[in-house]
Amino acid sequence: MGESTVKSLEGRTAAAPSPISDGGGVRARLRAPRRPRIWFEILLIGVSYWTYSLIRNAVPEQKAQALKNADWIWDVEKSLGLAFEQTVNHAVNSVTWLIVSMNYYYATLHFVVTIGVLVWLYRWQPGRYAASRTVLFATTGVALVGYYLYPLAPPRLMNGQSFVDTVLVHHTWGSMASGNLKHMSNQYAAMPSMHIGWSLWCGLTIFALASAPWARILGLLYPAATLVVIVATANHFWLDAVGGMICLAFGFAVSYFWYGALPQRLPKLVETAAPVAQGGPPPEAETDRARASSKVSSGT
């Protein structure tokens, strides 16, 4: 039961798996690591980011509630004795070259490093690319729920506090959260921080998969530096970073459920399907071995 028989080239009967018993099915084929297609990945990333931006910015800017939530977060951090954002913001802002560098860091590396890691995975770790990309996409997707359910003003927009909006003060470009570009982005979507979610994804991916020790060290330093930057520029509370970590954990859970393993546990390379599996003739070497085996078993 569950198996059919087919005639081999030597006239012998061999067992062939039936569609019912192979245990694969559509889901198994979708889960199997495969070589990513560049055109599909570029299209997917572009459409996904456009959708993410559209949904994030379409969420009503609930200013009053966002400011109220910011006051609550600030009070919680004070009660924990960990309300250090204002101190860091003022200290770093007093060093012009440092805060300007951080402004550009905040505006650019969030995208540059993330895209760079995706390209690295695509080129040198194709067997792990899809699972790693799934982590990133699931992390970003669940963040949208946070933006909708918990509008939050960043520290720089709080009332009655002396946080410095470093982009406005130092006239740096690139931030969608300040200056003339602020009208293009929802200003009250600070929880969770995707700067942390994405940078931690980059850091953990590099640490787990890179072979060079210096690259693994940089992988760990990148999200740590990002945490300092988002606090120093008054774009996030440190609790926003915790929200980003929770979203990333969710992303890993989704990827694990679908692929049955963490990305680093999957094969590095994707094996090319054998001709037999594609319906073509068996490789010549396999045919020769089958003939030799047939001769030995028949006593010739």
CB 83 within 8 A of CB 172: no
pLDDT, residue 272, reads 59
pTM of the full predicted structure? 0.77
pLDDT at 9: 41
Say what the pLDDT of residue 30 is. 58
Q: How far apart are CA 237 and CA 252, in angstroms?
A: 24
CA atoms within 13 A on the CB side of 181: 11
- Start-to-end CA span in the chain (Å): 34
User: Taking a C-beta distance cutoff of 8 angstroms, is the pair 130, 34 a contact?
Assistant: yes
- Residue located via tokens 């979507």: 189
Low-confidence ranges of the chain (pLDDT < 70): 1-35, 59-60, 174-185, 271-300
Virtual torsion, Cα 137, 139, 140, 144, nearest 10 deg: 130
Can you give the pLDDT at residue 264? Answer: 94
Q: How many CB atoms lie under 10 A from the CB of residue 59?
A: 15
Residue 267 has phi, psi (to 5 degrees) of: -60, 140
Buried b (16+ CB within 10 A) or exposed e, 283-297: eeeeeeebeeeeeee
34-38-40-46 Cα dihedral, nearest 10 degrees = 130
Question: Alpha-carbon dihedral of residues 204, 89, 164, 58, nearest 10 degrees?
Answer: 20
- Quick one: tokens of 61? 């800017």
Amino acid occupying residue 285: A
Q: What DSSP character marks residue 189? A: B
Given this model, what pLDDT does residue 178 score?
54
